[in-house]
Amino acid sequence: MMRYDLAVFIGRFEPFHLGHLAILQRALAQAERVVVLVGSADAPRNAKNPWTYTEREVMIHAALGVDGKRVVTLPLRDHLYNENAWLAEAQAQVASVAGDARSIALFGLSKDASSYYLKAFPQWELVDAASVPLLSATELRRHLFSEDAGALRLIEANVPAPVFEIISAFRNTAAYAQTLDEFRHVENYRAAWAKAPYPPIFVTVDAVVAHSGHVLLVKRKSQPGRGLWALPGGFVNESETLRDAAIRELREETRLKIPAAVLRGSIRGEKVFDYPERSLRGRTITHAFYFEFPSGELPGVRGADDAARARWIPVSEIQGMRASLFEDHFFILEHFLGAA
């Protein structure tokens, strides 16, 4: 007789490895059904999130084989600046498949500070799975982008055979080539600061310009995030204020034909966004400014400087752009526009 009606397993599975499989098999041995919540479900593809939700879903079910018939995989989106929204979404996803389940257990492994979420669901019994002595997903991702001849063998030794086949096929795609290029760019960037006496903390600015039901975005020309949509912004010069830096970057990247004095008078809000892992380049704190123009004809814009393109996007489209927005820019827009 099974101990639980339903087991819950939460992870990012970037990639799904043998440690994950061991926990899932333990959950299947003790529960009638298992729901796997795949985190960062619609994050943009990058070196930290190389695979889409669908690709990770395929990995999980390929690894489980016939045992996968009792497993349901569901997406779990990030909410970087609203932990309650993340908790609520996790609870709602479990409730959507729980039915009349009376006994629910949360399976997981308390490995470091990132496992804090395991204690955030007191309504479910916590089952702390035994550690499996394998490479972590972080280490496997580094091997994914490594030029070392033995890197693939290390991946193969740490993931289920069907998952290794998926990873091998992925390495022959344009998506992998783009992600590898970004990984190398970020590694070189971080190496340039490696000899600094203290870990560097970068300060940037971003401009959220709302005009007549639209928001101004740019398409990134360079790595990291080449090809993703982003807020106009960049690094602060040592001789300027944050506000002036935001206006300068806005005008440089979009050629927005609104005088600087008018832009200064149109600021309706500002906020610091400081999620520690918001940027692959390292600790980067951004100060975002909200410019509002309630009505009127949309001014002409065009991509310039670091932007390949500039465009006014209807606010109604922002909700569907999570996977194509750079870093945490969706959440910055969410804060100022209430788009989600």
One-letter identity of residue 59 = M
Greatest distance between any 2 Cα atoms in the chain = 72
The answer to whether 330 and 282 have CB atoms below 8 angstroms apart is no
CA distance 46 to 224: 9
Q: Residue 72: count other Cβ atoms within 10 Å of its Cβ.
A: 16
Omega before residue 224 within 30° of 0, cis: yes
Q: Residue 235: count other Cβ atoms within 10 Å of its Cβ.
A: 13
CA distance 290 to 283: 23
Q: Which residues contact 327 (CB under 8 A, 6 or more apart)?
A: 225, 230, 278, 279
Sign of CA dihedral 95, 99, 100, 106: negative
Q: What pLDDT does 340 receive?
A: 41
Q: For residue 185, what are its two tokens?
A: 């760019």
CA distance 260 to 141: 44
CA distance 95 to 118: 17
The answer to whether 235 and 213 have CB atoms below 8 angstroms apart is no
Superfamily (CATH) of domain 4-174: HUPs (3.40.50.620)
The upper half-sphere exposure of residue 111, i.e. CA atoms within 13 Å in the direction of its Cβ, equals: 17
pLDDT per residue rounded down to tens, the chain (340 residues): 789 999 999 999 999 999 999 999 999 999 999 999 999 999 999 999 999 999 999 999 999 998 889 999 999 999 999 999 999 999 999 999 999 999 999 998 876 666 778 888 999 999 987 666 678 999 999 999 998 889 999 999 999 999 999 999 999 999 999 999 999 999 999 999 999 999 999 999 999 999 999 999 999 999 999 999 999 999 999 999 999 999 999 999 999 999 999 999 999 999 999 999 999 999 999 999 999 999 999 999 998 877 789 999 999 999 999 999 999 999 999 999 984 4
**Which SS3 state, helix, strand or coil, does residue 50 take?**
coil
**Which SS3 state, helix, strand or coil, does residue 251 take?**
helix
Q: What pLDDT does 337 receive?
A: 93
One-letter identity of residue 60 = I
Q: Residue 91: count other Cβ atoms within 10 Å of its Cβ.
A: 16
The answer to whether 303 and 218 have CB atoms below 8 angstroms apart is yes
Q: What pLDDT does 109 receive?
A: 81
Beta bridge partners of 104: 6
CA distance 213 to 77: 25
Pick the CATH number of 202-337 from 3.20.20.60, 3.30.830.10, 3.90.79.10, 3.30.390.30: 3.90.79.10
The answer to whether 285 and 203 have CB atoms below 8 angstroms apart is yes
Domain boundaries, the chain: 4-174, 202-337
The answer to whether 132 and 17 have CB atoms below 8 angstroms apart is no
CA distance 223 to 104: 44
